[in-house]
């Protein structure tokens, strides 16, 4: 762990490992997240994101490694961590046969929130839930359930918010409103660690971390991760992109061909080898080529392909 500016780090862990049934699902995981930062946590399904989040919250004890969350030891002071963390799980986990207000009142009782009734009323107003306070949680749409879940997570005024794929299955308008709220909370000093599969959400984070097969493969701002990937990318627009993709895939110098509608993203880590590989196709009629910057999705597809268990 870092010994510099520890007081300004909400998360400071090193060498975390976790095994289930003899299989290591998180391996030598190290990360630091400053206070007030929104850190995006990305990776494919089964990559170890949820297990890592649970170790940070004290819900799981690591088999190896050490660290602190909000200044508390993740092995020895788990109760203190839980009191100061808001954790929003992938699935809606509140009581569907209770109203919005009853759910929040119950959560306030669990956390022994001072001036409980006032805290519930303020939370209802701040999250735009006041007019629906008497509606049963089970009758809410996905976006409103998400808003209620967030309200329940922040009512006890946590210092760290852990969000596990919070916008899965939510419409674009609700996603945007959710992220506007997250940025307002971060501006007030709340630290946020959010796992997501959406690249536009990753770009809204102050920093991102990419994990695959339990290992941290990339860390930094979106621009830093893209630049650090070493990828060169061309876009190819063709009438039959599927046929062109089949022809290009596997050629020396081409590491990845990914379709985006009628456009292909053709990438490689050796710029000269990539240029040589596509040169014979640049004069073909009906195919338009354009040099482009790789985006996060290009980088993450490449990282996933290079992860140890995905290598041939």
Find all residues with CB under 8 Å of 81, minimum gap 6, and list them.
56, 57, 58, 69, 70, 72, 74
- Same domain for 238 and 222, yes or no, is no
Q: What is the pLDDT of residues 246-292, one digit of tens each?
A: 999 989 999 989 888 789 999 999 999 999 999 999 988 888 999 99
Portion of the chain with pLDDT greater than 90, in percent: 58
Portion of the chain with pLDDT greater than 70, in percent: 96
Give the residue from 171, 195, 226 where a domain finishes.
Answer: 226
Give the residue from 192, 226, 260 where a domain finishes.
Answer: 226
> What's the pLDDT band for 1 if we cut at 50, 70, 90?
very low
Q: What is the pLDDT of residues 23-52, one digit of tens each?
A: 999 999 999 999 999 999 998 888 888 899
Angle at 226 between CA 223 and CA 230, to 5 degrees: 140
- Please check whether residue 309 lies inside any domain of the structure: no
Q: Which range has the worst mean pLDDT, 26-40, 69-83, 162-176, 295-309?
A: 295-309
> What's the pLDDT band for 245 if we cut at 50, 70, 90?
very high
Q: How far is it, in rounded angstroms, from Cα 210 to Cα 220?
A: 9
Stretch (H or E) spanning 14: strand 9-20
Helix/strand/coil for 41: strand
- Same domain for 10 and 142, yes or no, is yes
- Same domain for 91 and 145, yes or no, is yes
- Same domain for 38 and 125, yes or no, is yes
Question: Looking at the predicted structure, is the pLDDT value of residue 240 above 60?
Answer: yes
Q: How many domains does the chain have?
A: 2
- Same domain for 143 and 261, yes or no, is no
Q: How far is it, in rounded angstroms, from Cα 54 to Cα 71?
A: 17
- Same domain for 251 and 134, yes or no, is no
- Please check whether residue 312 lies inside any domain of the structure: no
- Same domain for 69 and 161, yes or no, is yes
Q: How far is it, in rounded angstroms, from Cα 55 to Cα 192?
A: 16
On whether the CB atoms of residues 182 and 192 are closer than 8 A, the answer is yes
| Average confidence score pLDDT of the chain | 89
pTM, two decimals, is 0.84
Residue 301 vs residues 39, 141, 159, 238: alpha-carbon distances, Å: 20, 32, 33, 22
Helix/strand/coil for 184: helix
- Please check whether residue 149 lies inside any domain of the structure: yes
- Same domain for 88 and 159, yes or no, is yes
- Please check whether residue 301 lies inside any domain of the structure: no
- Same domain for 266 and 138, yes or no, is no
> What's the pLDDT band for 194 if we cut at 50, 70, 90?
very high
- Please check whether residue 283 lies inside any domain of the structure: yes
Residue of 48, 58, 152 lying closest to 105 (CA atoms) = 152
pLDDT of residue 101: 95
Residue 204, Cβ density class (10 Å: 0-12 exposed, 13-18 middle, ≥19 buried):
middle
Find all residues with CB under 8 Å of 302, minimum gap 6, and list them.
229, 231, 255, 256, 267, 269
Phi-psi region of 69 (alpha: psi -120 to 50; beta: other; left: phi over 0): beta
- Please check whether residue 58 lies inside any domain of the structure: yes
Say if strands 85-88 and 160-164 run parallel, antiparallel, or are unpaired.
parallel
- Please check whether residue 164 lies inside any domain of the structure: yes
- Same domain for 127 and 259, yes or no, is no
- Please check whether residue 305 lies inside any domain of the structure: no
Q: How far is it, in rounded angstroms, from Cα 295 to Cα 225?
A: 10
Give the residue from 206, 226, 246 where a domain finishes.
Answer: 226
Q: What is the pLDDT of residues 109-163, one digit of tens each?
A: 998 999 999 999 999 998 889 999 999 999 998 888 888 999 999 999 999 999 9
- Same domain for 92 and 198, yes or no, is yes
DSSP 99: B
Q: Which range has the worst mean pLDDT, 16-25, 34-43, 48-57, 95-104?
A: 48-57
Domain that includes residue 64, residue range:
6-226
- Same domain for 202 and 250, yes or no, is no
CATH number of the domain at 278, please: 3.30.70.920
CATH number of the domain at 112, please: 3.40.50.300
């Amino acid at each position: 762990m870092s010994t510099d500016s520890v007081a300004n780090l909400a998360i400071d862990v090193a060498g975390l490992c976790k095994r289930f049934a003899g299989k290591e699902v998180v391996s030598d995981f190290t990360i630091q997240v400053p206070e007030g930062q929104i850190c995006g946590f990305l990776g494919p399904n089964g990559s170890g994101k949820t297990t890592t989040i649970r170790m940070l919250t004290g819900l799981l004890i690591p088999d190896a490694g050490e660290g602190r969350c909000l200044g508390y030891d993740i092995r020895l002071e788990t109760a203190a961590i839980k009191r100061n963390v808001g954790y929003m799980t992938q699935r809606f986990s509140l009581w569907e046969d209770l109203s919005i207000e009853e759910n929040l009142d119950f959560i306030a009782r669990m956390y022994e929130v001072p001036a409980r009734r006032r805290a519930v009323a303020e939370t209802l107003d701040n999250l735009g839930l006041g007019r629906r306070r008497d509606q049963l949680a089970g009758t809410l749409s996905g976006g409103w359930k998400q808003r209620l879940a967030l309200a329940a997570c922040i009512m006890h005024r946590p210092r760290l918010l852990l969000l596990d794929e919070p916008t899965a299955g939510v419409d674009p308008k609700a996603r945007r409103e959710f992220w506007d709220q997250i940025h307002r909370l971060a501006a007030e000093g709340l630290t946020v660690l959010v796992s997501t599969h959406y690249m536009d959400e990753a770009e809204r984070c102050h920093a991102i971390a990419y994990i695959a097969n339990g290992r941290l493969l990339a860390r930094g701002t979106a621009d830093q991760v893209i630049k650090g990937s070493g990828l060169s990318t061309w876009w190819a627009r063709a009438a039959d992109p599927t046929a062109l993709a089949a022809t290009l895939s596997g050629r020396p110098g081409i590491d990845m061909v990914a379709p985006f509608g009628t456009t292909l993203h053709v990438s490689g880590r050796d710029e000269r080898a990539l240029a040589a590989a596509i040169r014979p196709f640049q004069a073909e009629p009906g195919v338009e080529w354009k040099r482009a910057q790789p985006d996060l999705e290009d980088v993450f597809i490449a990282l996933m392909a290079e992860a140890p268990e995905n290598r041939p």
